[in-house]
Structure 1
Amino acid sequence: MKPVVDGKPVGYESASKVEVNLAQTGGQDRGEAPEMNAPLRPGVESGASAIEVEGSLAQTEGQEKGEAPAMNAPMPPGEVEAGAETSEESDELDLYSVMRQARADRVVEFSRRNKAIDTTGRPWAEVVPDRDYPYRPKDFIPPGPLGLKRKKASRKELSFFSEIFDRACVRYLVRCTNKYDRERRRAHPAEKRSRWKPTNSTELKAFLGCMIVAGYVHLPNLAFYWGVDEDCGCWLIKRTFPFHRFCQILRYLHYSPEGYCPPGSQRLEDFKAMERLDRVSKVRQVMERVNANSRSACHVGEHLVVDEAMVAFRGRHGLRQYNPSKPTKYGYCVRVLAEADGYILADEVSGARADPEDMSAYQRAMHGVGDDQVSPLDLKPARIVHRLTLPFQGRYRIVFCDSYYTDAQLADHLFAKDTYLVGTVRRNAASLPTLRHPIPPRSNRGRPPTQSFRDPFPKLNVPRGYSVRYHDGPLTAVKWKDTKTLILLLTGTSVGAPDVQVTRRSKGPGGGAIRQQVPCPAMVDLYNRHYKAVDKADQLRSSYEFGRPSKKWHRQLFWYVLNKAVVNAYLNWDAYTSERSRKNKENIPVHKTTQLSFRRALVRQLVGNFSARRKAPAGNPPVVHPVIEPVIVEHEHVRRGKPTRACRYCAKARRHMTGANRPRPHETIYECSTCNVSVCRVSLRPVCWREHLDEMRQQVS
């Protein structure tokens, strides 16, 4: 037991000081200035202990309501009850209460130091089904008609791709590539680069088309695409580029305006200083351009999803991460904002640069970061959601995310911006209410009759489909038992909506699997239907992903951006053809367009008739000439007369037959006037005469 000095245990601060500090800290977190001379409640002094504060507040509230003071309530300062113990004895008796209160204060202080949101004091209330809450979700405000903005959109696949990876991007790549090669030749004049000439937009588009071909025509080595053997080679790539020219463009392809930085030069030092602030500055402009074009290419829907995607890279770079829970375990972690169908609207590489909240005003101006991107949020994952959803706030959209991003402070912040949040949380999150709710009647195995909201449901004691809900104004916490316990934190959705029935498989009485209907909260069903959008985008991107492995870290990010542009263009094309087919205004096939057919058509339009060759490639396929049937005037089907002879082609067809079941060949008196070959009568068996003419044509050709 710690010694007591002046009625307080040594090593613990006064509870009132902790409360005042926390109140000031909470006000400063919200941008409020601390009140130095804030008035206290009646009967509360600044130096009172936690027990004195609690008793005085309870007594004051009871007197305001007209109630008599409690018998055991502590007296206000200045009054001494008759027969009361001395102050030292009462402090000694209440020592454990003070220690417990101080320990609780330290837990709250520790949580706030770790930037966790403490909501233990929030007025959580249980949700009553079918109740009309004051915070009803407002209807989504669509920015215009669904589908593409351009009503007279072209039916060509290239037009959809050019809306995302537009001509400005192509010209930018051409300019950076030519600048990089020109400065490299100037720095290394003795380097041999024969037959090099500056590239142009037409050649670069053909190069990108050949890279897309390599995504669905997989060969073990780049040189195999120019192979002349029967088991390798791709004719489209061979006729478009010679191997040497293709490797030149692949080597010197550049997308940074800095150009070539010679070793030891001042330009290299300046570039390294810039990379310390933005570690993906080489591909930053292309990424932002494609993101902006993706947002403007189509109208954004109501449901948005924030999740992470992995870009494979096994080289050495500071941004490379290891995530054992992902199929791609090594690579760059990209934070992605996507629509429900997998259309990627915005993304950012994790750890590429500091948060705008941590930048100075000069650094924000240098990187083009606006003041609107600076948020009052404490947690970094919450800041990511704010930055990604910033262009789409204000129209009552619903943002789905997982437990890494979900936070009560983020939900309140987005709700103030007319945007709703639905996300899972961990069961030990500080944002959850600490109210206690009754357990269903099946919990009769010696457990207490109540259970904290944060604790997991006991196994075999809670039926499948059981759920509880609490709300604090617009913020709602939902807990639902499926095979595991799912906890959601959300705003704006219909928390009082009736449950829906979902189908689940369970073990039957005989040991087999049976299907059963399980009640599920409406907001949980909404989350399950939309939160896999980023996984769907990864699936579309990885189906025909292209890009050669490289030790240069920025190459993998560039191929990721280009693959993302192709997938977004395909999703726009698929929505366009589906809408046109439904309206039946144009002659477009009703069947669903596959991504492979879209990529093949896009490649043909990107390459066109371009060829960087001076002569035909080696091992070219044979030229197919149109077949012109020769006019055979000398062969005539004539009647010869008796004696009859067996038809040559009937006998040939029966040679493989043996035994008594072998039929006899047809006897005929007809033959060819030139060949003197016996052939069946045309009116009876025309196939024999047709076979004879085909045989003669083959001999002539």
Structure 2
Amino acid sequence: HPRRGGRRSTTKLPPKKAPPPAAPARDSSARAGPLEARSGRDRWRNIDEEDTEPVQPRFRPQRDVGPQLNRTAHYTPLELFQLFFTTTVIDTLVKNTNTYGAKKCQGQREGWVPVTAADMYSYISLVLYMGIVPLKTLKEFWRGSTLFSLPFPASVMPCRRFLAISRSLHMNDPAKEAANDQKKGTLGFDKLFKIRPLYDQILEACHSHFHPHQHISIDERMVASKARFGFKQYSRNKPTKWGFKLYVLADSRCGYTLNFFVYVGKDGEPTGKGISYDAVMRLLNIPFLGRGYKLYVDNFYTSPTLFLDLLTRKIWACGTIRSNVTGFPKAKTNNMPEKTPRGTIRWIRKGALLFVKWFDCREVTMCTTMHKAYSNEMVSRKVKNKDGQWIVNHMPIPGCVKDYNKHMGGVDLSDALIGYYNVLHKTQRWYKTLFYHFVDIATVNAFILHKEMCKMQNRPVGTQKSFREELILSLAQIVAAARSCVVCKRKSPIYCSTCHKTLCLTTLRNCYSKWHRSNNICV
């Protein structure tokens, strides 16, 4: 046949490939077996499945645990307090307070009367006294009315003298503070420079005079303050919402504050592993601590990364954990059901890390490097039966939960001991708030040393209040041995800053009024 039009294309298309044969269908049971085999450890296990018992740490502290004192000697409350507020600390306070006071009073009608070491001890004595006998304002402690009369403050120091020391109280050299202020905005600026000498000396004393037992804990502490400062913190879950945030390492057994630091925001060289990680490593950076310690923390600090790094330092750890933390198991198989009876346990082990879920009134999630999933331990709970009567029900509890409840409260115990008679005063100067808190730390730690020494020597242990009362009297008597009354020549702590005279003012003698009247001076 004749072709019509142009030449037709002779290009041939490639043949179509036959579709591959369909894979044989697999039923659900065939899929489940290999999945469980592959996931293995990623399946939440039940209470009846046996866990591996981890190797328990061998406790090897570098010093004998407990007070680092002569264990056969009897220490007075004053001697124990002076382990923290040493003569060096007092001399530094006196020097810097006098420097600032003289500068502040320059050109005023009433000049600055220099503070002595005895004056500073008396001042601290009254600060502690005000923690035991709280009143609304400071001046009420010196009221002369019959209804509210308190003779002790006036017998130690006049009101005007106490207020003058309070206004000029300084822990660092004012000239050096001015030089530090010039460094604002640079890496050389120290936000805590105003408290640095006292801060460092109190920390050193906390390290030196006590070695912790095997169980230790870390937590935050809020110190209330209404002052304005750049590193003020807010803590939603604490009774004190606003103020200073301190990270504290404490002995779980007695509540001794072993180490702490004031949080001022991001400073130094962060590791990139989070604030909580850096805080724990900083608190545990104590060369004399030793090995085999058991650390307890809450879910703010707990992470698999932290616990594994602590394990390399021979420190075992246990704590509550958040399910969104990196490294937490993502397994859903055999997870805790929404409605489950109390006492239900689920667990997963990943090497040295054990993750445990336990249901009590609510679900509790733990991570630990020192426990096995379940060790046949039970806990009692009161529940209502069908008839509405309360009965005791026994249910299983993981060992990590039981130990956590027992040993996590070291910082809380320390906070409670401080809170009973805390000496915080209202002040707009942030560094004074921390001064008062350091007095609290020193007093409580001294009381704990007193308790531990009494236990070792089989002596009766008094209350914290009786300890503070004896300490207050001893601090006040340091002044009493220093001066003689110009009228009766007896020892007296009262000093008139206007007349520059030492005078008696007690329930038996009133040389203070007698001398002023004889010299036609109104008081």
**Per the shorter chain, which TM-score range?**
0.7 to 0.9
Structure 1 pair 482/495, CA: closer, same or farther in 2 (3 Å)? same
Distance (whole Å) between structure 2 residues aligned to residue 247 and residue 299 of structure 1: 38
Query: Which of 273, 283, 297 is 1:378 aligned to?
Result: 273
Residue of structure 2 equivalent to 1:292? 204
Q: Secondary structure at the match of 1:169?
A: helix
Distance (whole Å) between structure 2 residues aligned to residue 275 and residue 236 of structure 1: 48
Q: Secondary structure at the match of 2:147?
A: coil
The Cα offsets for residues 9-50 of structure 1, whole Å up to 9 and x where unpaired, read as xxxxxxxxxxxxxxxxxxxxxxxxxxxxxxxxxxxxxxxxxx
Does the Cα contact within 8 Å between 2:245 and 2:262 map onto a contact in 1?
yes
Distance (whole Å) between structure 2 residues aligned to residue 391 and residue 203 of structure 1: 35
User: Map of 1:256-295 to 2, 5 A cutoff?
Assistant: 256-259=172-175, 267=179, 269-270=181-182, 272=184, 277-295=189-207
Query: Which of 477, 482, 488 is 2:355 aligned to?
Result: 477
Distance (whole Å) between structure 2 residues aligned to residue 317 and residue 329 of structure 1: 15
The Cα offsets for residues 292-326 of structure 1, whole Å up to 9 and x where unpaired, read as 21121112111111111111112322222232322
Query: Which of 462, 466, 473 is 2:344 aligned to?
Result: 466
User: Map of 1:588-607 to 2, 5 A cutoff?
Assistant: 588=459, 590=460, 592-607=461-476
Query: Which of 51, 58, 66 is 1:147 aligned to?
Result: 66
| Corresponding letter in the other structure for 1:403 | N
Distance (whole Å) between structure 2 residues aligned to residue 571 and residue 352 of structure 1: 31
The Cα offsets for residues 548-592 of structure 1, whole Å up to 9 and x where unpaired, read as 2111111111111111111111111111112211xxxxxx4x3x4
Query: Which of 507, 515, 519 is 1:621 aligned to?
Result: 507
Residue of structure 2 equivalent to 1:201? 117
Structure 1 pair 499/162, CA: closer, same or farther in 2 (3 Å)? farther
The Cα offsets for residues 186-225 of structure 1, whole Å up to 9 and x where unpaired, read as xxx322334x332222221111011100101112221111
| Corresponding letter in the other structure for 1:433 | P
Structure 1 pair 476/180, CA: closer, same or farther in 2 (3 Å)? same
Q: Secondary structure at the match of 1:191?
A: coil
Query: Which of 511, 524, 530 is 2:407 aligned to?
Result: 530
Distance (whole Å) between structure 2 residues aligned to residue 124 and residue 201 of structure 1: 65
Does the Cα contact within 8 Å between 1:300 and 1:339 map onto a contact in 2?
yes
What's the % identity of the aligned pairs? 24
Structure 1 pair 267/434, CA: closer, same or farther in 2 (3 Å)? closer
Q: Secondary structure at the match of 1:332?
A: strand
Distance (whole Å) between structure 1 residues aligned to residue 166 and residue 222 of structure 2: 23
Distance (whole Å) between structure 2 residues aligned to residue 165 and residue 503 of structure 1: 46
- Structure showing greater Rg: 1
Does the Cα contact within 8 Å between 1:424 and 1:487 map onto a contact in 2?
yes
Query: Which of 291, 296, 307 is 1:411 aligned to?
Result: 307
The Cα offsets for residues 380-405 of structure 1, whole Å up to 9 and x where unpaired, read as 21111111112166511111111111
Residue of structure 1 equivalent to 2:144? 228
User: Map of 1:132-143 to 2, 5 A cutoff?
Assistant: 132-133=52-53, 135-143=54-62
The answer as to 2:93 corresponding to 1:173 is yes
Structure 1 pair 124/606, CA: closer, same or farther in 2 (3 Å)? farther
Structure 1 pair 382/242, CA: closer, same or farther in 2 (3 Å)? same
Residue of structure 2 equivalent to 1:504? 381
Does the Cα contact within 8 Å between 2:422 and 2:440 map onto a contact in 1?
yes
Distance (whole Å) between structure 2 residues aligned to residue 377 and residue 233 of structure 1: 58
TM-score (norm 1): 0.61
Does the Cα contact within 8 Å between 2:220 and 2:247 map onto a contact in 1?
yes
Q: Secondary structure at the match of 2:357?
A: strand
Shift of 1:143: 3.3
Structure 1 pair 223/551, CA: closer, same or farther in 2 (3 Å)? same
Question: Which is bigger in relative contact order (C-alpha 8 A, separation at least 6)?
Answer: 2
| Corresponding letter in the other structure for 2:329 | P
| Corresponding letter in the other structure for 1:337 | L
Residue of structure 2 equivalent to 1:14? none
Residue of structure 1 equivalent to 2:238? 326
Q: Secondary structure at the match of 2:281?
A: helix
The Cα offsets for residues 584-641 of structure 1, whole Å up to 9 and x where unpaired, read as xxxx4x3x411100000111111115214236566x42469xxxxxxxxxxxxxxxxx
User: Map of 1:450-465 to 2, 5 A cutoff?
Assistant: 451=335, 457-459=337-339, 462-465=340-343
The answer as to 2:107 corresponding to 1:190 is yes
Distance (whole Å) between structure 2 residues aligned to residue 260 and residue 247 of structure 1: 25
TM-score (norm 2): 0.80
Distance (whole Å) between structure 1 residues aligned to residue 396 and residue 347 of structure 2: 14
Shift of 1:515: 2.3
The Cα offsets for residues 410-461 of structure 1, whole Å up to 9 and x where unpaired, read as 11111111111111112333322123443xxxxxxxxxxxx3xxxx6413xx
Query: Which of 438, 450, 463 is 1:573 aligned to?
Result: 450
Q: Secondary structure at the match of 2:392?
A: strand
The Cα offsets for residues 100-157 of structure 1, whole Å up to 9 and x where unpaired, read as xxxxxxxxxxxxxxxxxxxx99965777866555x51222113343432222433311
Aligned length: 455
Q: Secondary structure at the match of 1:165?
A: coil
Query: Which of 247, 254, 259 is 2:170 aligned to?
Result: 254
Distance (whole Å) between structure 2 residues aligned to residue 470 and residue 317 of structure 1: 46
Structure 1 pair 331/509, CA: closer, same or farther in 2 (3 Å)? same
Distance (whole Å) between structure 2 residues aligned to residue 307 and residue 415 of structure 1: 19
Residue of structure 2 equivalent to 1:117? none
Q: Secondary structure at the match of 1:153?
A: coil
Shift of 1:544: 0.5
Structure 1 pair 289/269, CA: closer, same or farther in 2 (3 Å)? closer
- Name structure 2 gaps, 5 residues minimum: 1-16, 21-37, 481-492, 496-500, 511-523
Shift of 1:352: 4.6
Query: Which of 58, 65, 81 is 1:161 aligned to?
Result: 81
User: Map of 1:538-577 to 2, 5 A cutoff?
Assistant: 538-577=415-454
| Corresponding letter in the other structure for 1:248 | A
Q: Secondary structure at the match of 2:91?
A: helix
